[in-house]
Copies of this chain bind each other. A is one copy, B any other.
Amino acid sequence: MSVRIEGLTAGYGRSAVLRGLDLVVAEGELLVVVGPSGCGKSTLLRVVAGLLPGTAGRVLVDGVPVRGTSRDRALVFQDDGLLPWRDALRNVELPLALRGVPRAERRVRARGWLDRVGLAGFERHLPRELSGGMRQRVQLARTLAQEPRLVLMDEPFGALDARTRSAMQELVMAVLRETGTTTIFVTHDVDEAVRLGDRVVVLGAGEVDVRREAILAAVMG
C-alpha cells in the first residue's frame, strides 16, 4: 500500500497539532518518523489509521481517501491496546476472530505468533499479569497475526531490553519485508531509526525528509 498525505492539518478540539503536513510513503517502504516528544507522531499515525479525521488536507491510501479504519491498516499502540479481559492468546486471536477464522485454526496461528515473540507459556496470562515488555510483545504478535498491508507502529519496542528488542526487530522486519508490507514506524531510538528505516522523517522541524546520515545531527542536536 502506498500513502500520500497532502496538506494535512489535524489536532484535538480547536488546537492543531499537525499543520499542512505533506508526506509520501511508497508501496513496501519502511518510513521512520522521529521527532521530539509531543510533536504529533502518535497523532499522525491515528490520522492514517483512520481513528482521527484531519481538519484539512487529504490522506490517500492507494489513491483512495481514508475514511475510517480498515483491517488493512494496523496500528501498534504506544500504550498497549490489549483488551484486559482477554488473556494473551485470545488477544492475539482477536484480529483473526474478527474476520471469521475458525476457532481451531486461529488458536494454532495465535499460538505460533506468541511463540515467535518469546511468550510461549504465557498464553493464559491476562494483560495485568504480564510485564510491560511482555504486553508490548503480545501487541506485536497481534499485529502480525492481523496480516495488514500497512503497519503503523508507535514505539513498538520501547519497553524491551536490548536483547529482546533486537530479536523482535529481526522478527518484525523479516515478516514485513517478506510480505512487502508498507510501514510507518515511530521511534525515539536514533540507532533503531537509522538501522531499520528506508527513509527517516523528522516531525516538528518543518517536516524535513532526511537521509540517514543527516538524522543523527538533527535529532541529537
B-contacting residues of A (Cβ < 8 Å)?
Answer: 12, 34-38, 41-42, 78-80, 118, 129-134, 137, 154-155, 158-166, 188-190, 219-221
> Are A163 and B36 neighbours in the complex by a CB distance under 8 Å?
yes
Nearest opposing residue in chain B for A159, CB measure:
B158
Closest approach, in angstroms, between the C-beta of A51 and any C-beta of chain B?
14
> Are A37 and B134 neighbours in the complex by a CB distance under 8 Å?
yes
> Are B189 and A162 neighbours in the complex by a CB distance under 8 Å?
yes
**Oligomer: number of copies:** 2
> Are A155 and B132 neighbours in the complex by a CB distance under 8 Å?
yes
Q: Which of B38, B132, B162 contacts A130 (CB 8 A)?
A: B38
Nearest opposing residue in chain B for A219, CB measure:
B162
Q: How far is the CA of A155 from the CA of B79 in the complex (A)?
A: 14
Instruction: Determine the chain B residues whose CB is within 8 A of the CB of A37 once the complex forms.
Output: 118, 131-134, 137, 159-161, 164
Q: How far is the CA of A63 from the CA of B158 in the complex (A)?
A: 36
Nearest opposing residue in chain B for A154, CB measure:
B132
> Are B42 and A161 neighbours in the complex by a CB distance under 8 Å?
no
Q: Which of B36, B161, B164, B165 contacts A161 (CB 8 A)?
A: B36
